[in-house]
Amino acid sequence: MASTAIVIGGGLSGLSAAISLAKEGYTVTLVERHDQTGGRARMFEAAGFRFDMGPSWYWMPEVAADFFRQHGRSIDDYVTLQRLDPSYQVIFGKGEQVSLPSSFAALQAVFEGIEPGAGSRLEKFLEEAEYKYNTAMSAYVRKPGLHVLELCNGEVMRSFLKMDMLQSFSHHARKYFKDERLLKIIEFPVLFLGATPERIPAMYSMMNYADMKLGTWYPEGGMHMLVSAFTRLAEESGVRIMLNTTVEGMDVQGSRITGVGTNRGKLTADVIVSGADYHHTDRQLLPSGKANYSAQYWEKRVMAPSCLIYYVGVRRKIARLQHHNLFFEDDFRQHAEAIYNAPEWPQKPLFYLCCPSKTDATVAPPGMENLFFLIPTAPGLLDTPDIRDQYLQLVLRKTEAFCGEDITQQIVYSRSYACTDFIADYSAFKGNAYGLANTLGQTAFLKPSIRHKKITNLFFTGQLTVPGPGVPPAIISGQVVAEYISKQKVSRYESVI
């Protein structure tokens, strides 16, 4: 008789886990509280615009491509990817901006033009970053993170010092670059990792390699097309997908979950994988006294940022915008301080503006522009209507100053999304958008475990466990937990015979 599995949550980690378990012979049911799959990568349509609700920046496309290849498919049959050129532009204020070309030779020339010698130093910086990236992908990222001994093999031990685990990202970057503009470009990816560059390990320069060498990509139609691809593959793999299905609790007898209560009745399975918010599953869905971690444990976790997002439709084209735009006019560290060290609304926020209609005519009506503004914020902040309006006016003023044209009067649609929405839609712990901070103390086996310590058939996937937040890590997270479950099943079978 085939083993059965329930996967809670239809985000990319849940879809990945469901597909991977189906490949291992499980009969899989995936339950999703919303009317579509995708989790934070959902989409919505309004006033003729189509908005990706969360992820908009696509790096490391080989992760999804490898996933489909492992399942006997080509991702090219599901998604059409376009490499962006330029990858993005950074606005420093006072009419100064830098476009980052996809060609590495051209990128070196940009660096060299800002700081003599920086072009050749960029090559050396990225050589180290490439080593870290390849080592992480082969030796670290796909570990289940259950014990320190996972890291005690020859390859990992030999690479430990080269991975710069103990050196800060800030110190590492400053060995290569001095100009503050270049440092902002180099440091911006870590803004979303949950700590200032002074507290993030230099290991994460591997993200610069993903950015500057592997490239920035866009799935035609929007990021949700990647979700559609995984959803199709899940259905083709035999996964039963139950939308509009909210998990309300779990029955536990002894060391096993015996039932999953939903608004559509009780479900049962041999294995339960939660791709929902880990804290929500642990502290709210499980019966009292059955949590994997105490309330005190969760309160001591250092969270990555939440964010304040605006989805805006504009009735005309805006000339100076590119697909990805980083507004770094103000002090990077001041904003990071407001997120991580003294949680408060930033006085002079950095922000990101995505304009996918520059690349994709299908996301906005003809002659119009689709705008996605994102301000990284501390988790847990109170976001009132007045605060949301205040920051919308701020980002619009800064965008108008850069573009040299009115945008506010051209808005035909606007919607905001912030901390309280992350809580309402995803039960996100403290309203976080990006999971746990990627500090050294919350890396690998120091993250919340993929398995419950006492309930033998409950497992976890997603951004609060290994390997961490982001689209590629979410895909890998589902694979990791499915592989672990499959190995446990084989071990039990072998012990019987």
- Residue ranges and CATH numbers for the domains of the chain are 4-39+222-301+436-496 (3.50.50.60), 103-214 (no CATH)
Contact 23, 53 (CB under 8 A): no
pLDDT, residue 497, reads 32
Cis peptide upstream of residue 116 (ω within 30 degrees of 0): no
Checking DSSP bridges between strand 240-242 and strand 217-219, what pairing results, if any?
unpaired
pLDDT, residue 149, reads 74
pLDDT, residue 336, reads 75
Contact 416, 450 (CB under 8 A): no
pLDDT, residue 199, reads 81
pLDDT, residue 184, reads 94
What separation in angstroms does the CA of 171 have from each of 18, 203, 486? 41, 12, 42
Q: Which residues of the chain have pLDDT under 70?
A: 1, 152-158, 160-161, 194, 489-497
pLDDT, residue 119, reads 98
Distance (Å, whole) CA 295 – CA 128: 40
| DSSP codes of every residue in 59-125 | --HHHHHHHHHHTT--GGGT--EEE-SS-EEEEEETTEEEEE-SSHHHHHHHHHHHSTTHHHHHHHH
Residue whose tokens read 């606007």:
414
The overall average pLDDT reported for the chain is 93
What pLDDT digit, counting tens, does each position of 53-110 carry? Answer: 999 999 999 999 999 999 999 999 999 999 999 999 999 987 799 999 999 999 999 9
pTM of structure: 0.96
Distance (Å, whole) CA 347 – CA 349: 6
CB atoms near residue 491 (< 10 Å): 10
Contact 85, 218 (CB under 8 A): no
